[in-house]
Chain A
């Protein structure tokens, strides 16, 4: 039943999470056999839109959404992803959801395997029917052929190269009986160039069979060459939608990144004149094996007293740089700190060289949630610099000096305006903003020469954001601490940093002064810009 109307119509959809507006008045539609590119910075609302389409619980549990979605002309709102799957909408996530020990066939047909009836199913339910291996083989090959990619369906997923895994996952969606709409989230993120080309070609063949495709990607070059229509999301609003043929890479990049063209006035200090130009940190072909934030080969220099920004989209590896240098994850390459080569892989050595790191994973790495505030602030200094300890018996026993601990904690509680009952309150009970301030206080107590700060303003209220940024500026100005700030909030970094490096696919796409145009930043992020 091929209805003449568009396959998917999104009309006036908007959504807010506890008051903050995430999506407002989204309108677009998708024809059968058409490929739509959905582009936007992190936090622009792409994933929320997809959650709405798939009826994820996170949407219904936070008050649902307004506006309506028509699928094949019918008003629909799916209560859970399975319903969406059954009505023909497939989704391929960024991180693989494959079972390593099973073959490609078994993965493609996971939980929808064809079975042969036997009597026991009457008694104990359908799951006692035996698998029809022959039929499974046929369906798997059919799904793989739809993709036009030669994939051995009997190979174990654990032995497959990364590209094959991606194709296995896509063919799992294609195996669904009445697949009409396929959504892919960053499909080429893990593929090599050649594999990416093959994937794009096979997506074209799928489209020609009448399947609607939505690709969420930031690789503008791929978007340009394969999609029929482009929708650019920024801060929850569609600010640019047109046929791909009518628009250019520069236009998309500019809409993707630029909020207000003008820079925030708060960037008071003019371009600091780097007279002394002494390099405090030199990094050469650094690789870091951090899950989800993999770094291939990164080299850059940081000047003493500078605030050096590192930007880039999620999953491209920017967070890997500080984690690698500080030794949280396996890393290699040469890193020189004020001239001296430091060996990587041990956080203690990095700390001993007066480097400090405020991690992006506050709850996981940054804090002891079940310990009091003074503990959290003082702990690293205590362990690495033997501060806040009274030593007895000629240093044989180093006893915690609770008076000194509470004195320094009180000092930072006032300075950073941390809202808490007292310094013995357990950190678990504090708000996100206050927890972030404690992580900062922990780093400041170390009085480092070089301070890594990772996603300092993520998930905290606006008031706390400005305090955090102002304190970083103050520390940099008064004590001359060099700060390397890793963040996905490009605007904030342009307001505070001197230079910003953009990381894409595990490499440095380019380093630009903070006041360069947002288009150039957007293009670097989208992997099309030319490096400085």
Chain B
């Protein structure tokens, strides 16, 4: 019994409830005559789409900047990368990798200034990150209207200036990762190996980063800034690096999302995109100042599992689509749960 006790305290009640909830959905699926293979194919696809966005949370949590509610800033870097590449009419895998290159450039610039700002407001980073995210999205809404894009597939039909709200990536890099080495598991389940491999490669990259000297210094800044300062680590520099990494990953994450989803969502698209990513990593077991790659993978799988399963199972069982309400309650409930546990951890020390 003691062992279970420790497991519960360590894993946290909220995560257990969510885990059981997802399990029950999978069990109920056949009862609600929902095809198991389509659900799993959906979950795997959505896992691939969201995983890098959740991975983007890790660097900032590790360095003690807290949960990155300013993810939209990274997403904007990704959108700029995508739109510029489409403007240059680059297609296929080259197009996608070029987009990633531009995104990395924009992401580094945005991340640098965003990191500098967060260093000035130590202690209330999350609130300011939220509003920096919101204001940058609102600002970009204006920019999408003003930036001189010419590609007819992107601008409004009747020759007006300004980009459409959603731009299809058809013919550019739609499913370019998904179809790479993809194989058909069952009649309606095609395994997107390319995307999953790319995502796991990114996870490996970040896992490796945290094994280097720079990565260990960054972790130390997160768990005890005074210790890091005493050991000669330049705290502010580490925090800026973590923010840049997080912003670039956010950009790459949205590119991976788009190539599978099929559309680039501009204007208010990225407005609320930070919350599902934050909720996912918390469901995976991360805390406000400690996150591992396993948290990312477990959290993304659990969260996306719930998002895919609730509509199908719920619909057939009680004929109402409650999935939107459940998503809001689960993701925001999880964030509040993590916020209230911060003090518990501090009291323990």
> Which A residues are within 8 Å of any B CB, using their own CB?
326, 328, 347-348, 351-352, 357, 359, 361, 363-371, 375, 379-380, 382-384, 386, 389, 397-400, 428
Contacts and interface: CB of A to CB of B under 8 A. Distances in A.
Nearest to B211: A400
A432 to B, nearest CB: 14
A365 B232 contact: no
B1 interface: no
Contacts of B290: 370
Nearest to B231: A380
Contacts of B217: 383
Contacts of B89: none
Contact of B220 (A359, A364, A379, A399): A379
Given A379-B216, A389-B213, A400-B213, A351 B229 contact: no
B227 A367 contact: yes
A389 to B, nearest CB: 6
Contacts of A363: 349
Nearest to B216: A400
28 contacts: A326-B230, A328-B226, A328-B229, A347-B229, A347-B230, A351-B232, A365-B224, A365-B226, A365-B227, A365-B230, A366-B230, A367-B224, A367-B227, A369-B349, A370-B290, A371-B223, A380-B230, A382-B213, A382-B216, A383-B216, A383-B217, A383-B233, A384-B231, A389-B213, A398-B214, A399-B212, A400-B213, A428-B349
Interface of B: 211-214, 216-217, 219-220, 223-224, 226-227, 229-234, 290, 349
A451 to B, nearest CB: 14
Contacts of B220: 368, 371, 379
Contacts of A384: 231-232
10 pairs of A and B residues whose beta carbons are closest in the complex: A348-B232, A380-B231, A398-B213, A365-B226, A351-B232, A384-B232, A365-B230, A383-B231, A400-B211, A370-B223
A193 B290 CA distance: 50
Given A370-B290, A382-B216, A364 B226 contact: yes
Nearest to B209: A397
Give chain B's interface secondary structure class. helix
B213 A347 contact: no
Nearest to B226: A365
A529 to B, nearest CB: 34
Contacts, number: 71
* Residue from the set B211, B219, B227, B233 with the largest chain A CB neighbour count within 10 Å: B227
B211 A399 contact: yes
Nearest to A376: B227
A388 to B, nearest CB: 9
A363 B211 CA distance: 24
Contacts of A380: 230-232
A367 B216 CA distance: 14
A400 B226 CA distance: 22
Contacts of B219: 371
A412 to B, nearest CB: 17
Contacts of A371: 219-220, 223
A365 to B, nearest CB: 4
A386 B217 CA distance: 12
A379 B231 CA distance: 7
Given A348-B233, A371-B223, A386-B213, 4 more contacts: A347-B229, A369-B224, A383-B232, A383-B233
A351 B228 CA distance: 13
Nearest to A396: B212
Contact of B231 (A347, A389, A400): A347
Contacts of A375: 216
A382 B227 CA distance: 14
* Residue from the set B230, B234, B290 with the largest chain A CB neighbour count within 10 Å: B230
A112 to B, nearest CB: 30
Contacts of B223: 368-371
Nearest to A442: B231
A346 to B, nearest CB: 8
Contacts of B231: 347, 351, 379-380, 383-384
A300 B47 CA distance: 64
Contacts of A366: 227, 230
Nearest to A367: B227
A383 B230 contact: no
A382 B226 CA distance: 17
